[in-house]
Amino acid sequence: MAYKLLLTREKKDNQKTKDIFLKHGIKTLSLPMIEIKPLSFELMSFDFDSIIFSSQKAVDIFFDKISICKNANIKIYAVGQRTAKAIKRHIDTDIYIGTSDIKEILNKTSDKALWIRTELELPEDIKSITSSKNIFILKAYETVYKKYKLEKLLKCLNLIDGIFFASPSAFYSIIENLQNCKNILHSKELFAIGNTTKSAIEKEGFSVSYTPASPSIESLAFYIKSIR
């Protein structure tokens, strides 16, 4: 029987992801757990020494409104290779890549930094870091958790073998939807696109079956194919 994977990204992203898994004989079920909505913002002046991007969405939304001269003397930080690649599409510059999570970058910055992120509340451990740093947060987009009836969600989970998470937000959304039934996730194989998502899942007490060494849906598809 073919392996069946639940996709939890935004609807348009799920379609792209579906095509990759299908090439490897992996069936998918799309159930978007989040929706990204750009927010209005503007910078009246720019006197920052560095910019921090913690997601591809942050990169694309920011550069859709703001242009930076490629010769500008600004440090750019990115959480993960995928975010770094997204930055390269907009500006050809040196990038410091934090391979674990945002804490690595926040602890590294010592100058005046602008952090482009979602409007979601910061975890307490992150708040404690930013409060002692010269870091300004620009809320560039809203991450909306999709709402589903518990009956529908449980029905979907009964049809699949594993779940693919491309962001912590998608995982938090499914946890919120499941309420007191979240332990059903222990019976599924959970896959994370990168270490940031993996850490979020593990902090909630769940095990991650596989995380690609370098964030890649192709790598994940190869892995699932190899174990079935």
Domain span including residue 41: 37-144
Tell which wins on pLDDT, 177 or 199: 177
Residue after which a domain boundary falls, among 117, 144, 171: 144
Q: Do the beta carbons of residue 122 and residue 101 sit within 8 Å?
A: no
CA distance 78 to 159: 36
Same domain assignment for residues 29 and 56: no
CA distance 68 to 88: 12
Predicted local confidence at residue 69, as pLDDT: 58
**CA dihedral (164, 168, 170, 173) positive or negative:** positive
Same domain assignment for residues 41 and 103: yes
Same domain assignment for residues 71 and 109: yes
Domain count, the chain: 2
* Mean per-residue pLDDT over the chain, rounded: 90
* Poorest-pLDDT segment among 17-21, 100-104, 140-144: 100-104
Tell which wins on pLDDT, 24 or 2: 24
Q: What is the mean pLDDT of residues 138-147?
A: 94
Residue after which a domain boundary falls, among 119, 144, 169: 144
Q: Is 161 helix (H, G, I), strand (E, B) or coil?
A: coil
Structure tokens at 174: 């499914």
Predicted local confidence at residue 213, as pLDDT: 85
Same domain assignment for residues 78 and 11: no
Predicted local confidence at residue 183, as pLDDT: 96
CATH at residue 55: 3.40.50.10090
Predicted local confidence at residue 71, as pLDDT: 53
For 156-174, the pLDDT digits (tens) are 999 999 999 998 999 999 9
Regarding pTM above 0.85, the answer is no
CA distance 55 to 196: 10
The answer to whether residue 109 scores a pLDDT higher than 90 is no
